[in-house]
Chain A
């Protein structure tokens, strides 16, 4: 049900035009089409106003006005979210970071802290930082469209988490505008700073419900001089876990990513995207990436690691990408899963973290549970240092209520029973907020609601998201 918010009028539009200029206030429904729907086409809103500010001051003016008028706002970055967090639910005004894409600075001395506006596209930022021989400590499939501000607001995980940790560690500072227009300047470039409460942490992962992130500073690792990628075929999940353990032991500090996909996933990218499997058919495939500062050292380590898993017969088949094109082709098999899945029709997407040893049981149990109901149940994801992050996908030709009620809360109950989290990296957004109690205690949910009230008393920032209805 729509909250008790005002409905935007022609007067409001004039005010917005005065703040950011006529060209940047969009009201033509056809132009708003892409902003009203998520890219996996599962949720649609009916916003009729899209605002594209350029500066923090403009954002501040807009929010102050909206707060006074009780107009609800939906913050939006690249709109690549998977839980409906970045699209309006009713007629919320969309506040986009699209034009806030200025790269601000890299500190000249240490050369490792990058500061930029929230609307920088991850890939563009990554290319800019490459010039300074550093990288963004975050990489994910949507890099070509997602905005860094959105990444931070959702605490995106991605492919490099294993090596560089979560954004909670690498984001050093955030500048955000609160609901009443207050500019919260926490844009520190310090790694060490224990002065009081760390408010910026509340902006990380709160999905724009506590503030609108306008700028960020990020601690960036050196660009590795040497990159290697192995692609392995494994026939059991136990075997895969053995390889993971061995990789952690033998590759140690140069290990930068361990990903996996099952045979059904391989089938999808082959059928729908025409990709080639470079090795033979197996139950599971693993990508193991190393990055370091010395090619010879890394190759030696990788080679002895591969030697051992081959002689122990855990792995019988695999390849090493010898050039960058091959690396990209292999990464494509993993990174383009979400794209391939869309060709199957409607996707029920789950993103759970679980102890690695039970991780794939969830796919098997879900498959059994839904037998005969859906097109396919597939699993892929990130293998971590402790827990694993499974992307479980259930596909069917179009949205289907029978499947929906068979799969939910089944997957959430399964996750809770195995002490996992129902959202490892995608957030709760609109679609999963009412399931928060599977992963969080009542006390902490109550505390979250108090924090929301404190930051946004009128509840204008991204309503109907993150927190449950009741």
Chain B
């Protein structure tokens, strides 16, 4: 049976209105509701379903970030992950760590934990990078099945239905492999109260990137973060003639 590693990122809640910091160095995160990245929730759910089908032996949830990330790990554990690993990165350094650094962390942990399968969200809704799964597979030199909307595991063969531009593509992978979860893969469950209580007793190991020999400073520098341009108000016209002349004026017809 497979040992599954799932990545869970703590991000600003999907329903929160994002505000850019006045100095344009990033977005306001203080005092803002955070939750688990929705795609990661789907990844956790898929791992749990594998375990329920007795195809996975253990689910290890991994999160990278500051102390508050423990909440996110607890959520994964309450849903049904078996134990957690918190790779602690102080808040001020978190912004510097990009997908490449995180993928190196996942790769190291996969080796240490003797994982057979890594399931990650296809992207995090904060950075929208959509790179960590691909990079992790590359660092490990494992097979990858990205944008999964269906996943089937038989022996050491993994069938992944991928959501691609033209429709669906089915690929077969040999384990070990990295899979990234798309929106339609499943509908994540609500953690039940008894499981929330049990999750408090589950083991969470705390390590630092240094312990894994990973340097987290990225060579990418964020120059500026700005709001999207505001939509300008439209105008009302009295007649079709006026509409046509306005359209001509603005060079649209």
- A276 and chain B: residue at smallest CB distance: B187
Residues on A with C-beta less than 8 A from B31 are 225
The answer, yes or no, to whether B194 is at the interface (CB within 8 Å) is yes
Q: Which of B35, B38, B75, B193 contacts A306 (CB 8 A)?
A: B193
The answer, yes or no, to whether A28 is at the interface (CB within 8 Å) is no
A307 and B13 contact, CB distance less than 8 A = no
B36 and A322 contact, CB distance less than 8 A = yes
- A-facing mask of B178-200, CB < 8 A → 1, else 0? 00000000000111111011000
A324 and B190 contact, CB distance less than 8 A = no
B191 and A322 contact, CB distance less than 8 A = yes
A232 and B193 contact, CB distance less than 8 A = yes
B16 and A324 contact, CB distance less than 8 A = yes
Q: How many A-B residue pairs have CB under 8 A?
A: 55
The answer, yes or no, to whether A278 is at the interface (CB within 8 Å) is yes
A322 and B193 contact, CB distance less than 8 A = no
The number of chain B residues with a CB under 8 A from chain A is: 18
- A324 and chain B: residue at smallest CB distance: B15
B196 and A306 contact, CB distance less than 8 A = yes
Residues on A with C-beta less than 8 A from B189 are 278
Q: Which of A307, A316, A319, A328 contacts B190 (CB 8 A)?
A: A319
A323 and B191 contact, CB distance less than 8 A = no
Q: Which among B15, B31, B189, B190 has the highest number of chain A CB atoms within 10 Å? A: B190
The answer, yes or no, to whether B246 is at the interface (CB within 8 Å) is no
Residues on A with C-beta less than 8 A from B14 are 323-325
| A274 → B minimal CB distance (Å) | 13
The answer, yes or no, to whether B33 is at the interface (CB within 8 Å) is yes
User: In the complex, A316 Cα to B192 Cα: how many Å?
Assistant: 10
| A144 → B minimal CB distance (Å) | 16
B193 and A315 contact, CB distance less than 8 A = yes
Q: Which of A307, A318, A323 contacts B192 (CB 8 A)?
A: A318
B35 and A310 contact, CB distance less than 8 A = no
Q: Assuming A323-B13, A324-B13, A325-B15, is B35 touching A279 (CB within 8 A)? A: no
Q: Assuming A324-B33, A328-B15, is B194 touching A319 (CB within 8 A)? A: no
Residues on A with C-beta less than 8 A from B196 are 306, 319-320
- A127 and chain B: residue at smallest CB distance: B17
A279 and B190 contact, CB distance less than 8 A = yes
Residues on A with C-beta less than 8 A from B13 are 323-325
Residues on A with C-beta less than 8 A from B192 are 279, 317-319
Q: Assuming A324-B14, A324-B16, A328-B15, is B33 touching A319 (CB within 8 A)? A: no
A319 and B193 contact, CB distance less than 8 A = yes
- A322 and chain B: residue at smallest CB distance: B75
Contact residues, B222-243 vs A (CB, 8 A) = none
User: In the complex, A324 Cα to B38 Cα: how many Å?
Assistant: 11
- B35 and chain A: residue at smallest CB distance: A323
- B-facing mask of A312-352, CB < 8 A → 1, else 0? 00011111111111101000000000000000000000000
The number of chain A residues with a CB under 8 A from chain B is: 23
Contact residues, B160-180 vs A (CB, 8 A) = none
User: In the complex, A402 Cα to B193 Cα: how many Å?
Assistant: 45
| B232 → A minimal CB distance (Å) | 21
| A285 → B minimal CB distance (Å) | 13
| A73 → B minimal CB distance (Å) | 32
- B14 and chain A: residue at smallest CB distance: A325
- B17 and chain A: residue at smallest CB distance: A130
Residues on A with C-beta less than 8 A from B197 are 306-307, 310
B193 and A320 contact, CB distance less than 8 A = yes
User: In the complex, A279 Cα to B192 Cα: how many Å?
Assistant: 7
A326 and B190 contact, CB distance less than 8 A = yes
User: In the complex, A306 Cα to B193 Cα: how many Å?
Assistant: 8
B15 and A318 contact, CB distance less than 8 A = no
Contact residues, A232-265 vs B (CB, 8 A) = 232
User: In the complex, A212 Cα to B31 Cα: how many Å?
Assistant: 41
- A-facing mask of B27-38, CB < 8 A → 1, else 0? 000010101101
| B124 → A minimal CB distance (Å) | 14
| A416 → B minimal CB distance (Å) | 39
Residues on B with C-beta less than 8 A from A316 are 194
Contact residues, A212-234 vs B (CB, 8 A) = 225, 227, 230-232
Residues on B with C-beta less than 8 A from A315 are 193
Contact residues, B129-181 vs A (CB, 8 A) = none
User: In the complex, A264 Cα to B26 Cα: how many Å?
Assistant: 48
- A227 and chain B: residue at smallest CB distance: B33
- A280 and chain B: residue at smallest CB distance: B192
Residues on A with C-beta less than 8 A from B193 are 230, 232, 306, 310, 315, 317-320
- A232 and chain B: residue at smallest CB distance: B193
- A318 and chain B: residue at smallest CB distance: B193
| A248 → B minimal CB distance (Å) | 20
| B180 → A minimal CB distance (Å) | 20
A324 and B35 contact, CB distance less than 8 A = yes
Q: Which among A232, A306, A317, A319 has the highest number of chain B CB atoms within 10 Å? A: A319
A323 and B36 contact, CB distance less than 8 A = yes
Residues on A with C-beta less than 8 A from B191 are 319-320, 322
Q: Which among B13, B16, B196, B197 has the highest number of chain A CB atoms within 10 Å? A: B196
- A278 and chain B: residue at smallest CB distance: B190
| B74 → A minimal CB distance (Å) | 9
| A385 → B minimal CB distance (Å) | 25
User: In the complex, A316 Cα to B197 Cα: how many Å?
Assistant: 12
- A293 and chain B: residue at smallest CB distance: B31
User: In the complex, A18 Cα to B14 Cα: how many Å?
Assistant: 50
- B188 and chain A: residue at smallest CB distance: A326
User: In the complex, A325 Cα to B196 Cα: how many Å?
Assistant: 19
Contact residues, B70-101 vs A (CB, 8 A) = 75
Residues on B with C-beta less than 8 A from A328 are 15
| B162 → A minimal CB distance (Å) | 25
Residues on A with C-beta less than 8 A from B36 are 322-323
| B99 → A minimal CB distance (Å) | 23
The 22 listed contacts between A and B (C-beta, < 8 Å) are: A225-B31, A231-B190, A232-B193, A279-B192, A306-B196, A306-B197, A310-B193, A310-B197, A315-B193, A318-B193, A319-B190, A319-B192, A320-B196, A322-B36, A322-B75, A323-B14, A323-B35, A323-B38, A324-B13, A324-B16, A325-B15, A326-B190
Further 13 A-B residue pairs, CB within 8 A, beyond A225-B31, A320-B196, A324-B14: A227-B33, A278-B190, A315-B193, A318-B193, A319-B191, A319-B196, A320-B191, A320-B193, A321-B190, A323-B13, A323-B14, A323-B15, A324-B13
Q: Which 6 A-B pairs have the closest CB atoms?
A: A323-B35, A324-B15, A278-B190, A318-B193, A319-B190, A324-B13
Which residues of B are at the interface with A, using a C-beta cutoff of 8 A?
Answer: 13-16, 31, 33, 35-36, 38, 75, 189-194, 196-197
